[in-house]
Amino acid sequence: MRARFDLADHLCLLGTFDGVQEAFEHMQDMQRLNRSDNMGLRDMVPALMLRLDLDQECYDFIKWWTTCDPNGDYDWGDMTLPHLDIHGADVLEDVGFFDEKYPALCHVAAILLLKLKLLVDIRNLKMTRKILALRHLPHDLWRPIELSVIRSPLSLKLQKESPESLLKTEKKLLGQARQLGAIVVKANNNFMHCLFDPDDALREPPNGYSPGSWEEVALAMRGSYAAWWEMEGVLDLLNDARACAARDSEDEIEDMMESEAKRLGSRTAEEMLSDVSVNRIWGYLDWALQNASYLGPWSERPSEQHTRKLREAWAQAMAEDE
């Protein structure tokens, strides 16, 4: 099993579709042979599934592992018991099935990536429909064009939704993504910071980890960063949300620096702003989504208008105090 694991790990590192596919097949069979999964394959498989666009299967896999043994009495040696038997679970359902006290970092992060993947597909559908409407193309030509801008097989259903229904689905996914983002932070506060700057985490994988540690993030990054990087539009969305958070936080940094210096010593304003923007990213995901669906000039993007209004209101309040 160890030699087979090393082979699967090497296949993943090749970075090819065939390599990922073969690695996934090895890990699937290894889990069948060893249900207790003492090698931690369940943490690696979801990212492979997402890279292969097995999105429904990924969701079913994670939900089974999260809910299979609530009382701790599942007999892993009994091959007659149900195993990975959840199929077709509702991907849009509430995410409350995760353990509130001890959420599994790799699983929560994978579901978060899946939700963001669907949000990007919705954004692509909205933008495509806007452009097609301006071009006055016949509606019978819209469908093949729309199908070419979505990636997830789950988005085939979204493509059939009306604009109003699509907006409702987008709002629901946005709320769930923000909720999952908070769970990821609870599981390990280092994850999002490493996602934006993964070099150290990817350089040398640790041999072990404890929950909440930097080593846990390093192993999670090694198994999943390729999936994040390959999902076109997802990191762009997060980077824009972070930029929006940074713009709105700039005026607070000076006060933060004063209080922080008393506790932790010297840090530069740039370092402080970098950390703050990551910590506040989920509160700005909606602005990033609105920006991504906007066709006008950069200076008039929804987030830019929001920031200007905030600063104007602040300036007016300061003037009234004087």
To 10 degrees, what angle do helices 17-33 and 2-13 make? 160
CA distance 184 to 104: 9
- Cβ atoms of residues 215 and 248 within 8 Å: no
Rg, Å, the chain Cα set: 22
Residue showing tokens 């090497």? 10
Least Cα distance to 185 among 177, 199, 94 occurs for 177
pLDDT at 137: 85
Nearest to 225 by CA among 192, 182, 176: 192
Q: Are 256 and 272 in contact (CB under 8 A)?
A: yes
Contacts (Cβ under 8 Å, ≥6 apart) of 11: 19, 20, 22, 23, 26
Among 169, 225, 170, 226, smallest CA distance to 195 is for 225
Average pLDDT over residues 66-94: 92
Mean pLDDT score across all residues of the chain:
91
Q: Are 81 and 49 in contact (CB under 8 A)?
A: no
Any idea where the domains of the chain sit in the sequence? 1-69, 236-322
* pLDDT value of position 20: 97
Instruction: Tell me which of 133-137, 231-235, 255-259, 310-314 is least confident.
Output: 255-259
Query: Among the residues of the chain, which ranges form H helices?
Result: 2-13, 17-33, 41-51, 55-67, 105-135, 142-147, 155-159, 163-187, 191-196, 199-203, 214-230, 234-249, 253-264, 269-279, 285-292, 302-321
Stretch 172-193: mean pLDDT? 96
CA distance 262 to 278: 22
Residue 218 has pLDDT above 90, yes or no: yes
How would DSSP label each residue in 142-187?
A: HHHHHHTT---TTHHHHHTS-HHHHHHHHHHHHHHHHHHHHHHHHH
Q: Of the spans 109-113, 201-205, 263-267, which averages the highest pLDDT?
A: 109-113
What's the confidence (pLDDT) of residue 127? 93
Per-residue pLDDT of 24-49, as tens digits, reads 999 999 999 999 999 999 999 999 99
Among 58-62, 130-134, 277-281, which stretch is predicted with the lowest mean pLDDT? 130-134
Cβ atoms 276, 242 nearer than 8 A = no
Cβ contacts of 163-167, under 8 Å, gap ≥ 24: 163/126, 163/129, 166/122, 166/125, 166/126
